[in-house]
Chain A
Amino acid sequence: GAVVSQHPSRVICKSGTSVKIECRSLDFQATTMFWYRQFPKKSLMLMATSNEGSKATYEQGVEKDKFLINHASLTLSTLTVTSAHPEDSSFYICSAEAPTGTYEQYFGPGTRLTVT
C-alpha cells in the first residue's frame, strides 16, 4: 500500500518551453502532497505543499509563477515548470501524506528534468 507514482520519469525540453510533471497516489487518497527538488549529490529541498482544492503553499525563494502547482483531486497533483531554463534542470520528487493519521510521507520515484 501507499504507492506514489510520477510521470514522466525523465524529460528533456528546450529552454523557454513548459513541462508538466504528474504525481499520483495509486492506492490511497492524499489530501496533502509535497514537491521537492534535489540537485546532484545534495539533499531534498521542499518547494511547496499542495492541498487538494486550495492554493499551494510555497517555500521562501520558490517562484510560484514559475513552478505552478495544481492539486485538483485527492489522487493527483501536478507541477508545471513554466518557461524552463537550464538552471531549472534538476530531480523533482513528489510525496503524499499517508492516510494513517500520522505525518508519514510516501515518495514518488522522481522526475529528472533536463533543460537544453
Chain B
Amino acid sequence: GIQVEQSPPDLILQEGANSTLRCNFSDSVNNLQWFHQNPWGQLINLFYIPSGTKQNGRLSATTVATERYSLLYISSSQTTDSGVYFCAGGNNNDMRFGAGTRLTVKP
C-alpha cells in the first residue's frame, strides 16, 4: 500500500514565525487531505488537495501530484496553531496517514 512520510516530526516555533510542513508519498495518489488534530483528539479538516494550491487565511497548501508530495504552509503562527498536523492520502477512498508533525508555537 501507499507509504506516507511527513517531515519534520517535531517543530518548535516562536509566535509570528512561518513554517512549512512536507508530506511525501511512495506512489501517486488521487486523494489527499491535511488535518490538524486538536488536544482533544478531533481531526479538523484543513485542505482536500489532491493537486494544485489552496489558501485559507494564514494556511495554504500545495500538492505537486507528479512528484508525489504536498506542502502545508503556516504563516504568522499563533499559539493556537499548536498540535499535530497529519497528511493522509491514497487512491480512491483508501486513505493512509503519515506519522504527523507535532507543532509547538511558543508565545
- A residues sitting closer than 8 Å to B (CB atoms) are 32, 34, 36, 38, 42-46, 49, 91, 93, 95, 97, 102-107, 109-110, 112
Contacts and interface: CB of A to CB of B under 8 A. Distances in A.
B86 interface: yes
B48 A102 contact: yes
A44 B94 CA distance: 13
A104 B33 CA distance: 7
A112 B99 CA distance: 20
Given A43-B86, A44-B86, A105 B41 contact: no
Given A43-B100, A103-B30, A103-B31, A91 B41 contact: yes
B56 interface: no
B42 A104 contact: no
B96 interface: yes
Contacts of A107: 35, 42-43, 45
A91 B32 CA distance: 23
Interface in B25-40: 30-31, 33, 35, 40
Q: How big is the B interface, by class?
A: 20 to 34
B45 A104 contact: yes
Interface of B: 30-31, 33, 35, 40-43, 45, 48, 86, 88, 92-100
A95 to B, nearest CB: 8
B40 A109 contact: yes
Contacts of B31: 102-104
A104 B43 contact: no
5 contacts: A38-B41, A93-B43, A103-B30, A105-B33, A112-B41
Contacts of B92: 103
Contacts of A112: 41
A92 to B, nearest CB: 10
A95 B97 CA distance: 13
Contacts of A44: 43, 86, 88, 97
